[in-house]
Structure 1
Amino acid sequence: MAERRLEVYPDKATVAEAAAQRTLLAILDGLSARGEGGNNTHATARYDVGLTGGSDSILSLKDMAANPLVDAVDWSRVHFWWGDERYSAPDSDDRNCLQARRAFLDKLVSDGRLPETNIHEVPADMRSAAEVAAASDEENDALLAQAAAQYQTELRRELGDAPTLDLLILGMGPDGHFGSLFPGHDEINVTDSRQLVVGVSHSPKMPPLRVSLTAPMMARSRRTWMLTCGAGKAEASAQVFAHRNNPAYPSSFADGVDEFLWSTDPAASALLK
């Protein structure tokens, strides 16, 4: 369990810019420490980053795209995952991966820097709109379980039986949720470290069907950064810092092995003591 470190920046734009710079440096330093491949295994010759959705994260990705340090990174050795995803059509604007692609990743792919196979997307909902509207809860639950199992299999295939991300970037909602782990929903109570991914139905935030990494999976990331801005998140921030592992505020379960950094602005941190 890493000690929580709080960084308060003047505003949302500065939080995003600092996160962008810090992310690129972390990738550069991580790859440099692992050399150019050589005798390293497939797992250690790479750097694995977990992304999320939300305005703070997407703004940071846009800042990364404009940062000159982008040219210094060997993107062929960087892999991207998602802390959570909306189980929507592959071309839906709700998809976190689609937002990240538009903000940053697609340009790397089109420039030939980032292999498409290094982008590990959560399975999408391939049903028609009519099929989605007519689906029962049982059908939705089965599809979510299948999508979660597929993503879990991919994590283990790429990163081993106990997969660990090098860097996980998260956001927090005004209700204290992170990933798609919401207060009052059973998914936050998953404690089995062998369960890496979980399906989420009836999300209180639209769209209702989601897939999320579990709290134990996210907590074993080597470095975890939380980007949280705005007065609407002040109460949740105070509660998260007051008590760890409080199901009423799921973000209190967020953790990292070597580092846990919370980047925020004065409005979101106004109630912190």
Structure 2
Amino acid sequence: MVHTQRVVYPHTHTIAEAGAQRILLAILDGLNGRPEAEWFDLALTGGSDTLKALQYMADNPLADAIDWSRVRIWWADERFVAADDDDRNAFEARRLLLDHLVSAGMLPEANIHEMGSDTRSPAAVAAADDAADEALLDEAARAYERELVEALGPEPAMDLLVLGMGPDGHYASLFPGHPQIGERERLVVGVDHSPKLPPLRLSMTAPLMARSRRTWVLTAGSGKAEALARALAEPNNPATPASFATGTEECIWFTEPCAAAGVPETGTAH
């Protein structure tokens, strides 16, 4: 198992700024020296800390130095709502960064691999029962699994996975007390009755995310302090799904003093 590191920045905004710089450098360095035919695969989630980092990436001159035609964008989780719903992680990522890269001719639209969206009318969504929701979620999850395998092979792995963590210790859309955290056979699962709205979601599974070469978790705020302490103290604890976060080469938690309160010192940035 890769040793988990923690880096504490002095302010919340610094996490997003540093995260943006680090992500762009990881892509730039990752592509450097690789054969032209090889890709850099980046997986994102939503969450305030990750979205702030994307916003900083859009204004960073390093973005212009990257050959985005060789970068594929994936999602570790998604809210199963309409494609143009601003609750969607992909919708926000496009608004903050990806649409700019596409319109500038830097990132091909085909390189953006979104999870499925809910194409039903609001009335149909409201009228659906659990069985109908579960069937749609499973269909969308299996479609994304096929997309991953087609692009990355039978055991897909990201080059970089950027995550957040909720105050309850969830990561991606794997929540405490929900069975999806224990799934070991699937790559992607549907999540219904999410304790955090919207209730229908899709998520990569813990084993798939653990295959990422590098995993970074951006988390800030005193409301996440208890969950962060648990995640770092008790690896692979289903009661704190984020404790499963790891990578094959590197796993780093980027945080700030309020969130890191009560966690033993392992690394500090100023």
For the criterion TM > 0.5, the same-fold answer is yes
Deviations 1:120-153 (A, max 9, x none): 0001000000000000100000000000000000
Give the 3-state SS of the residue equivalent to 1:221 in structure 2. Answer: coil
Deviations 1:203-240 (A, max 9, x none): 00000000000000001100000000000000000111
Structure 2 distance, partners of 1:90, 1:22, is 29
Q: Are 1:144 and 2:137 counterparts?
A: yes
Give the 3-state SS of the residue equivalent to 1:33 in structure 2. Answer: coil
Q: Give the Å deviation of 1:12.
A: 1.2
Superposition map of 1:27-46 within 5 A: 27-37=27-37, 45-46=38-39
1:230 is matched with: 221
Give the 3-state SS of the residue equivalent to 1:48 in structure 2. Answer: strand
Give the 3-state SS of the residue equivalent to 1:211 in structure 2. Answer: strand
Identity, % of aligned pairs?
59
Q: Structure 2 residue aligned with 1:118, among 83, 88, 111? A: 111
Q: Structure 1 residue aligned with 2:162, among 169, 172, 179? A: 169
User: Matched residue pairs, number?
Assistant: 264
Structure 2 distance, partners of 1:113, 1:10, is 34
Q: Give the Å deviation of 1:35.
A: 3.5
Q: Structure 2 residue aligned with 1:181, among 174, 177, 188? A: 174
Q: Are 1:25 and 2:25 counterparts?
A: yes
Give the 3-state SS of the residue equivalent to 1:120 in structure 2. Answer: coil
1:3 is matched with: 3
Structure 2 distance, partners of 1:169, 1:33, is 23
1:74 is matched with: 67
1:258 is matched with: 249
Structure 1 distance, partners of 2:35, 2:154, is 24
Superposition map of 1:61-100 within 5 A: 61-100=54-93
The TM-score, its normalising length taken from structure 1, stands at: 0.96
Structure 1 distance, partners of 2:233, 2:55, is 32
Q: Structure 2 residue aligned with 1:206, among 197, 210, 213? A: 197
1:16 is matched with: 16
Q: Are 1:218 and 2:209 counterparts?
A: yes
Structure 1 distance, partners of 2:36, 2:132, is 47
Structure 2 distance, partners of 1:241, 1:163, is 26
Structure 2 distance, partners of 1:30, 1:84, is 23
Give the 3-state SS of the residue equivalent to 2:125 in structure 1. Answer: helix
Structure 1 vs Structure 2 CA RMSD: 0.7
Q: Give the Å deviation of 1:33.
A: 2.7
2:231 is matched with: 240
Give the 3-state SS of the residue equivalent to 1:267 in structure 2. Answer: helix
Give the 3-state SS of the residue equivalent to 2:251 in structure 1. Answer: strand
Structure 1 distance, partners of 2:99, 2:135, is 31
Give the 3-state SS of the residue equivalent to 2:107 in structure 1. Answer: coil
2:126 is matched with: 133
Give the 3-state SS of the residue equivalent to 1:79 in structure 2. Answer: strand
Structure 1 distance, partners of 2:244, 2:189, is 16
Paired amino acid for 1:248:
A
The TM-score, its normalising length taken from structure 2, stands at: 0.97
